[in-house]
Amino acid sequence: MKKDLVHPLYVRLFHWLNAAAIVMMVMSGWKIYNASPIFEGIAFPEALTLGDWLGGALQWHFAAMWLFVVNLIVYLVTGIATGHFREKMFPVSPVAVINDVGQALRGKLAHDSHDYNAVQRVFYIGVIGAMLMTLISGLVVWKSAQFQLLSWIVGSYDTARIVHFAGMTLICAFIVVHLALVAIVPSTFIPMITGWAKPFPKKEKNHVA
Amino acid sequence: MLLKRHSSEKLFLPRTKQVLNIERRFFMGKALSLGALSMLTGCNVADDSQAQGVLDAMSRWNDKVQLAIFGTTTQLAPTYTEADIKDPFPFNAYYGEDEVRIVKEEGYKLELAGLIDKKDSWTLQNLRALPQQSQITRHICVEGWSAIGKWGGVNFADFLHMIGADTKAKYVAFKCADDYHTSIDMATALHPQTTLALTFRDQPLPPKYGFPMKLRIPTKLGFKNPKHIMSIEVTNDYPGGYWEDQGYNWFSGT
Ligand code: HEM
């Protein structure tokens, strides 16, 4: 049977490298946070952190950072150049989002094409935004004296720390929902590894937006 | 002194945590966190020292990248107003506030070594007689907290030129009365804001902030700002440092 290529190789490579990078960044970030918490009384369980002490966690963070940033840039540039984002993530109309959320809550969200539905579109665009927000605020936390143009956008060192924390929180919230959605529609999982999926019976484009 | 005693409780906190972190590194740590990572990412980080080797290599790569950024610009760190100064200013060191080293002015001499023409030692009197500069800048700790303070003293670039230091050399290294040591790149040593600080908030540097002198570098993290400096050496051999040898990034620019 002929199969459809749903995820090109560069998307799959980005996706799994990014997942690994995010795990390393978040877990080492939690240890760095714990050394001097922003919010009194809020700290992360040591068992969920990466690095044997603050110095080790910083090493992990600033090593994984390169994987995260380079991988993200390659994905964004290729995705824009090939029209991937235009085709698969845009447009996102508010009406379609409300419709899809309603359907999802009634347990009836159709997954009858390889196009992303409106909820997916919002989440993917959202998490890419959250990753960029975390990246830019991270640069300000790392080099507040050097990247003063960026700190003009993000705010002072202390504000940048809060923005960086908020970005991490959004990414983690995305991961929870993302994994829940994959668990609900597990047939999406293998194609994210192999790239190929069985075509849906009705082959005409099933536009969600 | 500038700091009142009642402040010490809160200020003590970061150091205590840091010490706990260091103790922890000897006992648990490596195996546990690598195990957690390999479980989550599915890759098998079997050899701990191999992973550490990669991390060390990345840290050296980050030194190079930072040197490339900082070495080619003299971007000034932001300055602030008197009203922004943190009072009391936090104390932090690898030991507690009750163990602060007291260096006596009488008999104190700053020693010079390495690639320097005029290696005569300096008394505080002589240093105070040089032109002074002062700035209100943000001190950023590797732990994540920050505090704004005011330091005054001798422009370090002028001082290096005056003593005939080889400013083509790679490193400037510091040895301190509290057995601390660290080293910086020449570009940062020559940065216009880098100050051989003799005062804090226009008063002689109190012992807890590093009497008799501290190198104040607003473009580097706090631990790169040595206190109680006893000797300065200009060298081409990588000198490392107290924290750097344990894994903190050597360059640590901000
Ligand atoms: C390890 C756990 C993860 C699993 C099992 C997983 C699974 C998947 C699957 C199956 C898809 C395809 C959805 C579809 O075809 O309908 C997908 C897409 C996507 N995932 Fe994940 N994911 C994981 C982690 C992450 C993380 C940590 C991020 C980012 C923070 C992320 C961001 C994305 C994005 C942006 C897409 C859309 C990619 C594109 O088409 O350009 N994922 N994921």
Domain boundaries, chain B: 2-70, 82-246
Rounded to the nearest angstrom, the minimum Cα separation between B17 and chain A is: 7
Q: Evaluate whether B232 touches B111 at the Cβ level (below 8 Å).
A: yes
Q: What is the DSSP letter of A52?
A: S
**Interchain pair B59, A51: CB under 8 A:** no
- Sign, Cα dihedral of B237, B243, B246, B250: negative
**pLDDT tens-digit map of A3-33:** 888 899 999 999 999 999 999 999 999 999 9
Q: Count of CB atoms within 10 A of residue A29's CB? A: 25
Q: What does the alpha-carbon distance between residue B193 and residue A147 come to, in Å, rounded to a whole number? A: 17
Pocket of ligand 1 contains residue A111 by CB under 6 Å: no
C-alpha A14 – ligand 1 centre gap (Å) = 10
State which of A124, A178, A179 you would mutate to test the pocket of ligand 1, scoring each by most atoms of that ligand within 8 A of its C-beta.
Answer: A178
Q: What does the alpha-carbon distance between residue B197 and residue B40 come to, in Å, rounded to a whole number? A: 48
C-alpha A203 – ligand 1 centre gap (Å) = 24
- Could you tell me the residue ranges of all domains in chain A? 4-199
Pocket of ligand 1 contains residue A150 by CB under 6 Å: no
**pLDDT tens-digit map of A170-187:** 999 999 999 998 998 898
Q: Which residue did the predictor score with more confidence, A154 or B220? A: B220
Rounded to the nearest angstrom, the minimum Cα separation between B100 and chain A is: 22
Distance of CA B226 to the CA centre of its chain: 4
Rounded to the nearest angstrom, the minimum Cα separation between B55 and chain A is: 6
**Interchain pair A145, B30: CB under 8 A:** no
| Mean per-residue pLDDT, A55-61 | 96
Q: Which residue did the predictor score with more confidence, B48 or A133? A: A133
HSE-CB of A133 using CA atoms within 13 angstroms: 19
Q: What pLDDT shows up at residue B22?
A: 43
Q: What does the alpha-carbon distance between residue B228 and residue B215 come to, in Å, rounded to a whole number? A: 9
Q: Is the pTM of this model over 0.90?
A: no
B82-246: CATH topology is Sulfite Oxidase; Chain A, domain 2 (3.90.420)
CATH of domain A4-199: 1.20.950.20
Q: What pLDDT shows up at residue B49?
A: 82
Task: Please list the rounded mean pLDDT of every run of 10 residues in chain B (254 residues).
Answer: 34 41 42 50 57 94 92 86 95 94 94 97 97 97 96 98 97 97 97 97 96 96 97 97 96 94
ipTM over 0.95 threshold: no
**Which chain A residue shows the shortest CA-CA distance from B72?**
A146
